[in-house]
Chains A and B, each alone.
Chain A
Amino acid sequence: MKKLVSLALAAGFAMLGASSAQAISEAEINDDITEFQGFFLKRFPGLAPGDFVDGVNALPQYAHRRANWELLMEFPPYEPEMEKAAEEWDTPFANGKGFKDCDLAPANIYPVYDAASDDLRTLVGDLNACLKANAEKPIKNVKRGKMARLIAHYKAQFNGEPMAVDFSEAGAQAWYEKGRQFYWAKRGQLNFSCADCHVHNSGNAVRGDILSPGLGHGVGFPVYRTKWSLSGKPWGTMHRRYGGCNKQVRASPFKAQGVEYKALEYYEAVMNTGIPLKVPSQRQ
């Protein structure tokens, strides 16, 4: 892991000199995955890679609170919402078509790199593109509510499928590098990187809370959170959570579905290669 840090640092400094992102190869990315996942397997002995889908609930450090979560999951609080999601998914567009006709990739390979536009396709972006293509209004709020429900409904069809994001193209590798820089760079008034909390201090206690491990991040999103349900908006996409994290380290959040968070989502998805989807997830 230290190597990965210095690598990120070195790349960061190199970026200052060169204006374009440093090239990283497919083999190096594969090494990153092995190192990243190996770190967590060593840090939490007794956990198999698939156990990390439950996030913080999987950790022995959280054992005293896991029973609560299991009790909650006997009648998951998101179930009525999932029924609503299914109805929304099945409601036809004005032209008679529906979400089922959208050109979507399997949920376990998002974000998908599109060489023609040199852009990352997220599931959120694809759904809105599909709405537009069918002369429907795109969904404005891409952080919560209906959009989160729709992607929960779609991704849940792929539960158990291992994450398998493709990073074989050079353009995709550049996006990966951008996301990696974001993950390992310190930011905000509190000067935290994503890795400070979710790698180096994963499983440790911030006062009464346990920091979730980076392995497993994203495979359960969208998330249904108790905290968010208090304000009547229980659902959140990855990018809603990223914004919250950035605010917590006292940094300005970036735009949901903007370049920064798409790159970060891509990096996290690649780091979770092989970890099965488990959507939706319930967290405190």
Chain B
Amino acid sequence: MLKLKTALIAFVAAIAFAVTAGVGPVAQAGDWPTDKQCKKVAKDADSILKGWCAAINRKGGNCLACHQAMVNPWPEGFPQGGNIGPPLVAMASRFPNREDLRAQIWDPTVKNPQTSMPPFGRHKLISEQDIDNIVDWLLSI
């Protein structure tokens, strides 16, 4: 039964992908995986999807511990983010310069020494590649 369900989800996701892929550059509607589903995300998945997965992983960026993220639709049954940091919305307009956003994740203490946000790059909490992927994801939402 479970197999059937998975197959069905995969089928629906595939259709959704096929439909949206033709319309826009980013296929995301309906396919934001939960952290469990992220384990099955292919190695050659696009950087946006990988960025989302790195962001929600508790041993990765764990961004949702402090931030809400506005992805649509929110994965069913997946707990909402915290409210310590500002919600992750309209990132492309808030960070017109990609490097500013990357620098903010790499070491937010440069702009605000008292910030609660960990210096993800400087303290090697996640890889440089993960940071790039997370930036890609953030600029897509």
Contact = CB atoms under 8 A, between A and B. Distances in A.
Interface in A150-206: 189-192, 196-197, 200-201, 204-206
Contact of B116 (A189, A200, A207, A208): A200
Contacts of B123: 189-191
Contacts of B65: 206-207
Interface centre among B64, B79, B123, B124 (most CB of A within 10 A): B123
A206 B66 CA distance: 5
B122 to A, nearest CB: 9
B118 A207 contact: no
Interface in B112-130: 114, 116, 118-119, 123-125
B114 A207 contact: no
B109 A191 contact: yes
A86 interface: no
Interface residues of B, number: 17
Instruction: Specify the main secondary structure of chain B where it touches its partner.
Output: loop
Interface in B96-141: 109, 114, 116, 118-119, 123-125
A207 B82 contact: yes
Given A5-B114, A190-B125, A191-B109, A204 B82 contact: yes
B41 interface: no
Contact of B83 (A192, A197, A200, A204): A204
Nearest to A197: B116
B130 to A, nearest CB: 15
Interface residues of A, number: 14
Interface in A215-268: none
Contacts of B124: 189
A192 B80 CA distance: 22
A208 B118 CA distance: 19
A206 B125 contact: no
B84 interface: yes
B87 interface: no
A200 to B, nearest CB: 7
A192 B79 contact: no
Interface in B78-96: 79-84
Interface centre among A190, A191, A201 (most CB of B within 10 A): A191
Interface of B: 64-66, 79-84, 109, 114, 116, 118-119, 123-125
